[in-house]
Structure 1
Amino acid sequence: MTVASPETKAITPEMQAAHDALNDTFAAYRDANDERLAALERRSSADVLSEEKVARIDAALERQQAILDELAVKARRPALGTGERAGDDAARREHKSAFDAYVRTGETAGLKRLEKKALSAGTGADGGYTVTVEVEREIGRRLAAISPIRAISGVREISLGTYRKPFMTTGFSAGWVAETGARAQTNTPTLDELAFPAAELYAMPAATPTLLEDSAIDIEQWIAAEVETAFAEQEGTAFVTGDGNGKPKGFVACTTVANSAWQWGKLGFVATGAAGAFPAANPSDVLVDLVYALRAGYRQNGTFVMNRKTQSAVRKFKDAQGNYLWQPPASADGRASLMTFPIVEAEDMPDIGANALAIAFGDFRRGYLVVDRQGVRILRDPYSAKPYVLFYTTKRVGGGVQDFDAIKLLKFAES
């Protein structure tokens, strides 16, 4: 399996300064929240000033974390060089030159000749022309850096429209036997398959004629930079809540069942015991239950997934010794953690509410699969929005749960 992982970048002075500011703000948050809890114990009711102070520092903490996250993503985002890469062959350089001519001027002769030579039907009527290998690879690396679920999931590249993965619904039987004992015949496994169709994802950046005429502009880098955010936002939503119709199937959209009655094809959930909320007494206990709902083989690679508002709620939780369960990143390029497990912030996760599946925990590398079909295509459109030139850019992406035992959900309900 090919796993997309962002390149490790050096920690910049800006990242270190943001990390230090985040730690300082969290220290102030701990002090203010401790004062609030102490006042609550003395008076048996919330102190308005203490509540406002905690809320104010919590908002500042959110801003500091957002700044650090943005800087970390920027550092992980690779830069596309303007020079030729080592090992480029003549065909790749020819494609690069023909693609540049098409994007800048609309000249199609070079790309038509190349795709005819490759026995490809990639004409304009077929939906545009294939971008260069460098641009396709660059878009994939950038998505791995900024798309939250893709960054922690398994990723596989395919050349066909659907990826099919077999799995055993009943396995081989096994057992112990003495050296000279009789061996019973083993059962034949029953196989089924999961299908992950690749749906079309598109973005349509616009350029001015002046930009396209400027030879100093690296047109490939411009395209990669323009489509990365649009692609990341759309696929990020689909990987979480997508219904599987013309888009990937999100893990929150899967059929769910109480974890005690878990079965293959459904995701197990742990209920908080309170409708739309954490329980009033020992609220963090349900997080412990969620962690240990996952089997040990998955738990060691577990990651929490939640949105920023939910993370703000769990930030107040402490263990029996009074230590906060949420901790800021240990380094400027790290992630915040909850109960020592990393937290991935996905804004498409539901807010805390009645029956909401607002927190997920699991080994997403084994649990969720992102499928990328080879080839990113561009169709140049100089007519629809004159004087601007539109670039209808498409790639095919699929996704879905591949191991239903590797992800568990926290449901904010009584049962």
Structure 2
Amino acid sequence: MTNDTAAPENKAGTGAGHEVSAVFEEFMGAFEAFKETNDSRLAAIEGKGRADVLLSEKVDRISDALDEQRRALDGLLMRKARPALGSSRAFEGPSEHKEAFETYVRSGDERSLRALDTKAMSYGSGQDGGYLVPDETEAAIGKRLTALSPIRSIAAVRQVSAAVLKKPFALTGPAVGWVGETTARPETTSPTLAELQYPTMEIYAMPAATASLLDDAAVDLDQWITGEIETAFAEQEGAAFVNGDGTSKPRGFLDYNRIAEASWEWGKLGYVATGVAGALPASDASDVLIDTVYALKSGYRQNASWVMNRKTQATIRKLKDADGNYLWQPPAAPGSRAMLMGFPLVEAEDMPDIATDEAAIAFGDFSRGYLVVDRTGVRVLRDPYSAKPYILFYTTKRVGGGVQDFDAIKLLKFGTA
């Protein structure tokens, strides 16, 4: 009986693996075609002094196809990692909270949950209501957001129970110095401390379900809620972590003041300018990327990543070094990241396009440079009235974020100074 049950799962897993391998092979084949066509384009520029229009269009089409195949590959990997609906229910005994939560979601019977959740259900306004999801569901949501949200996947993430995380840091350290064995030791000065604050803001999603879906015992409602809200949360988070202004949302790293790297000071992000308004230099374009890498101190470079959007990546993908090697390299295996000059590249669509004075590329150790703050607890309020015959599930989560180390992130500004 056990063997009969396991066989279909193995077959399905094998089929999914073959599909991922096939898409990855297509992706690598497209990259080889891209290199061949771009080499021809560069040769035409060297020979004629100008780019062949048809070749340039072909390069752009192949580059767009590479991006599409990469997204398809990522989608397959995400679906492969997602368990089938209800697959674990026969093997794991649900917790008391999970059973009570499922009863609430399916039928609206909140008596069991009310007995478990005796404290206020929403921050600041009790009339909004809501019930905490089980710990298993909250953990699943966190894992999925890490996989889907580009900045969260490389930033430091901390869970708190309060509304605001306050983090002290030293502006000046204690005085130190060398002394002789018998020389008097002067009293050291006290360090000057300041404080960074990361308030958590509410993000929400409102998936809808039919009565028949809720009546279907084979549907794992925890997983259904996770799947419905993960993309909505990830998109909103991704935009806020990059460009958020800190008002009712996290503060994005591009919202902080910027300063030329030569004049860098704490509280501002340093940038390297390309020297050309809205473009890379016409010759030795890779030099500004090298300057950006070495604007970062060696201790941060060990775990550094590039962050840019798809259009910027398409421009960078065409660059070569002095030996004729492409600076951009495809991922070595399904699920890994593309590499640029030996550092992983994270694609964040909320980064700005290349334009005059835009910081379209960021480089740094985001695990030390940017902090994501999650307040524990995801809450769900069942609403069977507002959109009859559908049942809405008002799902909320509190998230904050901001720069925590201004020396760990550098920007590449497409401007003259």
The TM-score by the shorter chain falls in which range? Answer: over 0.9
Partner residue in 2 for 1:48: 53
Counting only pairs closer than 5 Å after superposition, residues 268-307 of structure 1 correspond to structure 2 as 268-307=270-309
Q: Confirm or deny: 8 A CA contact 1:171 1:190 kept in the other structure.
A: yes
Partner residue in 2 for 1:199: 201
Partner residue in 2 for 1:333: 335
Residues 72 and 186 of structure 1, relative CA distance in 2, 3 Å threshold: farther
Partner residue in 1 for 2:170: 168
Aligned pair partner of 1:15 in 20, 29, 37: 20
Residues 77 and 51 of structure 1, relative CA distance in 2, 3 Å threshold: same
Q: Aligned-pair distance for 1:94?
A: 2.0
Residues 240 and 270 of structure 1, relative CA distance in 2, 3 Å threshold: same
Cα separation, 1, equivalents of 2:158 and 2:77: 25
Question: Is the aligned partner of 1:363 residue 2:365?
Answer: yes
Question: CA deviation digits over 1:319-338, x for unaligned, max 9?
Answer: 11110000000111210010
Secondary structure of 1:310's aligned partner: helix
Q: Confirm or deny: 8 A CA contact 1:164 1:196 kept in the other structure.
A: yes
Determine what percentage of the aligned residue pairs are the same residue.
Answer: 58
Residues 48 and 194 of structure 1, relative CA distance in 2, 3 Å threshold: same
Residues 81 and 169 of structure 1, relative CA distance in 2, 3 Å threshold: farther
Cα separation, 1, equivalents of 2:278 and 2:354: 6
Question: CA deviation digits over 1:126-157, x for unaligned, max 9?
Answer: 42111111111111111111111101000000
Residue-pair matches, total? 400
Question: CA deviation digits over 1:53-110, x for unaligned, max 9?
Answer: 2222222222222222222333455678643887x7xxx7222121111111111111
Q: Confirm or deny: 8 A CA contact 1:82 1:218 kept in the other structure.
A: no
Cα separation, 1, equivalents of 2:104 and 2:19: 39
Aligned pair partner of 2:29 in 20, 24, 33: 24
Q: CA RMSD in A?
A: 1.9
Cα separation, 2, equivalents of 1:258 and 1:232: 32
Letter in 1 for 2:103: A
Residues 19 and 395 of structure 1, relative CA distance in 2, 3 Å threshold: same
Cα separation, 2, equivalents of 1:238 and 1:336: 24
Residues 243 and 85 of structure 1, relative CA distance in 2, 3 Å threshold: farther
Secondary structure of 1:12's aligned partner: helix
Question: CA deviation digits over 1:298-333, x for unaligned, max 9?
Answer: 011110000000000000111111100000001112
Residues 237 and 57 of structure 1, relative CA distance in 2, 3 Å threshold: same
Question: Is the aligned partner of 1:323 residue 2:325?
Answer: yes
Residues 276 and 196 of structure 1, relative CA distance in 2, 3 Å threshold: same
Partner residue in 1 for 2:388: 386
Partner residue in 1 for 2:397: 395
Counting only pairs closer than 5 Å after superposition, residues 84-123 of structure 1 correspond to structure 2 as 93-116=95-118, 120-122=119-121
Counting only pairs closer than 5 Å after superposition, residues 147-226 of structure 1 correspond to structure 2 as 147-226=149-228
Cα separation, 2, equivalents of 1:322 and 1:284: 12
Q: Confirm or deny: 8 A CA contact 1:241 1:253 kept in the other structure.
A: yes
Partner residue in 2 for 1:3: none
Cα separation, 2, equivalents of 1:76 and 1:257: 42
Letter in 1 for 2:274: T
Partner residue in 2 for 1:254: 256
Q: Confirm or deny: 8 A CA contact 1:315 1:326 kept in the other structure.
A: yes
TM-score by length of 2: 0.92
Cα separation, 2, equivalents of 1:73 and 1:171: 46
Unaligned runs of 5+ in 2: 1-12
Cα separation, 2, equivalents of 1:215 and 1:121: 30
Secondary structure of 2:169's aligned partner: strand
Question: Is the aligned partner of 1:36 residue 2:41?
Answer: yes
Unaligned runs of 5+ in 1: 1-8
Question: CA deviation digits over 1:356-394, x for unaligned, max 9?
Answer: 110000000000000000111011111111000000000
Cα separation, 2, equivalents of 1:167 and 1:85: 48
Partner residue in 2 for 1:4: none
Question: Is the aligned partner of 1:64 residue 2:69?
Answer: yes
